[in-house]
Amino acid sequence: MPPELLKLSKQELAEKFWAEKTANENAQFEILRLQDRIDWFRRQMFGDKSERHVPVTNKSQLTLDLGLEPGTQDEETKTETITYKRTVKTNRKEKPVRLPFPAHLRREVTVIKPEGDLTGMVKIKEITSEFLEEKPGEVYVSQIVREVYAYKNDPDKGVITPDLPTYVLPKFSVGVSMMALIIIRKYADHLPLYRQIEIYKRASLILVDSTVGDWVRSGLNMLIPLLDVQEKLIFSSPYIEADETGIRVLDRNKKGTTHKGWYWQYQDPLRGLIWFDYQPGRDASGPHKRLDSFQGYLQTDGYKVYDRFESKPGITLLACWAHARRYYEQALKNDKARAEYVLSQIRLLYSIERFADKVGLIYEERRQLRQENATPILTELKKWLVENLPQVSQQSAIGKAISYSLGRWEKLLVYLQKGELRIDNNLAENAIRPIALGRKNYLFAGSHESANRGAMIYSLLATCKRHNINPYEYLKDVLARISSHPINQLEDLLPHVWKRA
Distance CA 12, CA 35 (A): 34
pLDDT at 92: 64
> Which strand ranges, in their side-by-side order, compose the sheet holding 273-279?
273-279, 258-268, 239-250, 296-299, 315-318
Distance CA 35, CA 41 (A): 10
Residue 126 domain-assigned (yes or no): no
Answer yes or no: is pLDDT of 76 > 80: no
pLDDT at 446: 67
Q: Which of 79-93, 183-197, 251-265, 365-379 has the lowest mean pLDDT?
A: 79-93
Residue 288 belongs to what H/E stretch? helix 285-290
Band of residue 99 on the pLDDT scale cut at 50, 70, 90: confident
Average pLDDT (318-326) is 91
Is pLDDT larger for residue 439 or for residue 23? 23
Residue 363 domain-assigned (yes or no): yes
pLDDT at 454: 86
Residue 71 domain-assigned (yes or no): no
* Chain centroid to CA 202: 33
The number of distinct structural domains making up the chain is 1
Most confident of 66-75, 282-291, 436-445: 282-291
Closest CA to 131 of 96, 113, 105: 105
Q: Angle 225-227-232 (CA atoms, 0-180°, nearest 5)?
A: 100
Answer yes or no: is pLDDT of 339 > 60: yes
pLDDT at 175: 84
Closest CA to 213 of 190, 227, 194: 194
Average pLDDT (440-466) is 81
Is pLDDT larger for residue 288 or for residue 250? 288
pLDDT at 65: 44
Answer yes or no: is pLDDT of 386 > 90: yes
Residue 89 domain-assigned (yes or no): no
Distance CA 460, CA 273 (A): 9
The mean of the pLDDT values for the chain is 81
Distance CA 418, CA 495 (A): 26
pLDDT at 279: 87
Answer yes or no: is pLDDT of 133 > 60: yes
Average pLDDT (265-290) is 88
Distance CA 444, CA 446 (A): 6
Residue 110 domain-assigned (yes or no): no
pLDDT at 78: 64
pLDDT tens, 363-380? 999 999 999 999 999 999
pLDDT tens, 12-36? 666 666 777 777 777 777 777 777 7
Band of residue 52 on the pLDDT scale cut at 50, 70, 90: low
Band of residue 440 on the pLDDT scale cut at 50, 70, 90: low
Neighbours of 36 (CB within 10 A): 18
* Chain centroid to CA 247: 15
Average pLDDT (118-136) is 75
Answer yes or no: is pLDDT of 243 > 50: yes
pLDDT at 274: 92
pLDDT tens, 458-489? 999 999 999 999 999 999 999 988 888 899 99
8 A C-beta contact, residue 322 and residue 425: yes
SS (H, E, C) 419-462: CCCCCCCHHHHHHHHHHHHHHHHHCCECCHHHHHHHHHHHHHHH
pLDDT at 90: 62
Write the DSSP assignment of 99-128 as a string of letters. PPPPTTSPP-----PPSS--TT--------
pLDDT at 26: 74
**Structural domain boundaries enclosing 330:** 321-416
Is pLDDT larger for residue 316 or for residue 110? 316
Average pLDDT (212-219) is 89
Residue 169 phi, psi (nearest 5): -80, 120
Q: Which of 64-68, 169-173, 203-207, 296-300 has the lowest mean pLDDT?
A: 64-68
Distance CA 179, CA 187 (A): 12
Answer yes or no: is pLDDT of 257 > 90: no
Answer yes or no: is pLDDT of 355 > 90: yes
Closest CA to 299 of 461, 417, 460, 437: 417
Distance CA 89, CA 73 (A): 38
Residue 75 domain-assigned (yes or no): no
Write the DSSP assignment of 184-245 as a string of letters. HHHHTS---HHHHHHHHHHTT----HHHHHHHHHHHHHHTHHHHHHHHHHHHTSSEEEEEEE
Residue 261 phi, psi (nearest 5): -95, -175
Is pLDDT larger for residue 152 or for residue 274? 274
pLDDT at 453: 86
Answer yes or no: is pLDDT of 214 > 60: yes
Band of residue 140 on the pLDDT scale cut at 50, 70, 90: confident
DSSP 316: E
Answer yes or no: is pLDDT of 88 > 60: yes
Residue 160 phi, psi (nearest 5): -115, 120
Predicted TM-score (pTM) of this structure: 0.72
Residue 376 domain-assigned (yes or no): yes
Q: Which of 8-22, 173-187, 253-267, 290-304 has the lowest mean pLDDT?
A: 8-22
Closest CA to 278 of 247, 239, 234, 237: 247
pLDDT at 16: 67
Distance CA 334, CA 398 (A): 7
Residue 80 domain-assigned (yes or no): no
pLDDT at 190: 86
Distance CA 450, CA 4 (A): 69
